[in-house]
Amino acid sequence: MTFDDVATRVPAAIRERAAALDAADPLAGYRAAFIESQDVVAYLDGNSLGRPLKATRANLTRFVDGPWADRLIRSWDEGWMNAPTELGDLIGRVVLGAGPGQTVVADSTTVMLYKLVRAAVDARPGRDEIVIDSENFPTDRFVVEGVAAERGLTIRWIHPDPAAGVRTEQVRAAVGPRTALVLLSHVAYRSGYLADLAAITAVAHEAGALMLWDLCHSAGAVELALDEHEVDLAVGCTYKYLNGGPGAPAFGYVARRLQDRLRQPVQGWMGAADPFAMGDRYEPATGIRRFISGTPPIVGMLPMRDMLELIDEAGMPAIRAKSSKLTSFAIEVADELLVPLGVRLASPRASGERGGHVTFDHPDFKRVTEELWARGVIPDFRPPHGLRVGLSPLSTSFSELAVGLTMVAEVLTQERS
């Protein structure tokens, strides 16, 4: 089965609307920068793993033949040592709305979350509560549970509507003089709900707490202004909209005003003031570098550089505009093709309240997703019965989205018969 095979089965009105949107799309030309697979009819999971870039294939070869093979260990002195902070500055400028010296690339999201959660609560002595929501991604909840157990803290849970997300008034009701840290996801991983980052951060600060944002589902899809909104801490992965590839390292943001007041708990040699002094005692580096622990994942940083160049060229305002149009079109098509089959929208309908993905619920979607994958249509499934459609603006067309949702309707109809 090919894209063209399925395209003929898309209802004419939807097919024409998709073609018109593609023709008017100022970012359409960027699709040619990505490597496509003949086995994939429609890729609707760009919020889980971004497609690789053609430039990355060439640059990885050049890296092996050049800095690795030719320069060998000398490459550490010729650039690798500074890669975590240099690439962090690039992410900060292009994606996060953050000035230099506040973002670092290192570790996995889980490890970076642990570092910043632990450092934050230790920096708020006399406060013994962490606020987090019950719908947050498992890693966030599990890390908070672990740190709370280590430090004898209490978790105060917010229970939001699963089809929406955490509202500002819910945070205001949860925080107080005992709150050390608030940890929330900017874009909810299930529903795609876009939290009010500025207002919630202000509420946390009014209570005297630090604010930590998980940006995994917003970095590269939603405009951010961390410095402007006085965010304290943030963490995000780079294999979704930043196309860093499977297992690409995470990034951490620590506002400059906090860096010398936080002591990160995973004290490794690369975060020391002088790594090659091989000293008897740990002395942290100044600034953002103190949040590095072990040897930087140099190879894992390479692909995201290529994507950041593309994002920088396209501009986050244009990317966000297309992201909103893609998710709106997904809802329009679902209203016509899927809702009559018993599907329910499990994401906000208002585009200003959505990130870069939408979720639809149906009790048969686990089986449907398995069949879709076999046919080359790739959304993902999130329990209990959500089909999540993740749309990476630079690599996804409206026609591809129309084809994918048409196949969802076909398979769902077959499942019911």
- pLDDT for 103-161, tens place per residue? 999 999 999 999 999 999 999 999 999 999 999 999 999 999 999 999 999 999 999 99
Q: Which one of the listed residues 239, 253, 291, 398 is annotated catalytic?
A: 239
**Whether residues 175 and 302 fall in one domain:** yes
Q: Give the residues across from 212 on adjacent strands.
A: 183, 233
Report the alpha-carbon distance of residue 265 to residue 287 in Å, rounded.
Answer: 15
Find, among 337, 330, 342, 338, the residue nearest to 389 by Cα: 330
Residue 306 included in any domain:
yes
Identify the band that residue 417 occupies on the pLDDT scale cut at 50, 70 and 90: low
Q: Which one of the listed residues 253, 382, 388, 398 is annotated catalytic?
A: 388
Q: Which one of the listed residues 30, 114, 137, 398 is annotated catalytic?
A: 137
Identify the band that residue 42 occupies on the pLDDT scale cut at 50, 70 and 90: very high
Residue 347 included in any domain:
yes
Report the alpha-carbon distance of residue 214 to residue 197 in Å, rounded.
Answer: 11
Give the CATH number for residue 15.
3.90.1150.10
Find, among 53, 10, 23, the residue nearest to 392 by Cα: 53
Q: Which one of the listed residues 133, 140, 214, 306 is annotated catalytic?
A: 214
Identify the band that residue 166 occupies on the pLDDT scale cut at 50, 70 and 90: very high
Give the CATH number for residue 169.
3.40.640.10
**Whether residues 298 and 334 fall in one domain:** no
Residue 270 included in any domain:
yes
Report the alpha-carbon distance of residue 108 to residue 238 in Å, rounded.
Answer: 10
Residue 43 included in any domain:
yes
Residue 355 included in any domain:
yes
Q: Per-residue pLDDT averaged across 359-374, rounded?
A: 96
Q: Which one of the listed residues 240, 290, 305, 320 is annotated catalytic?
A: 240
In three-state secondary structure terms, 18 is helix
Q: For residue 257, how many C-alpha atoms fall within 13 Å in the half-sphere facing its CB?
A: 8
**Whether residues 97 and 202 fall in one domain:** yes
Q: Which amino acid is at 352?
A: G
**Whether residues 108 and 160 fall in one domain:** yes
**Whether residues 250 and 122 fall in one domain:** yes
Query: Above 80 in pLDDT, residue 327?
Result: yes
**Whether residues 261 and 167 fall in one domain:** yes
Q: What's the domain range around 177? A: 79-311
Tokens 């018969």 — which residue? 417
**Which of 311, 327, 351 is the last residue in one of the domains?**
311
214 is catalytic: yes
Q: Per-residue pLDDT averaged across 371-377, rounded?
A: 95
Q: Which two tokens stand for residue 139?
A: 């890693």
**Whether residues 375 and 276 fall in one domain:** no
**Whether residues 346 and 305 fall in one domain:** no
Find, among 117, 114, 127, the residue nearest to 209 by Cα: 127
Per-residue pLDDT tens for 381-406?
Answer: 999 999 999 999 999 999 999 999 99
388 is catalytic: yes
Average pLDDT, the chain: 96
137 is catalytic: yes
**Whether residues 276 and 395 fall in one domain:** no
Considering the entire predicted model, what is its pTM? 0.96
Give the DSSP H/E element, type plus range, for residue 302. Answer: helix 298-314
State residue 5's pLDDT score: 78
Per-residue pLDDT tens for 208-243?
Answer: 999 999 999 999 999 999 999 999 999 999 999 999
Considering its fold, how many domains does the chain have in total? 2
Q: Which amino acid is at 303?
A: P
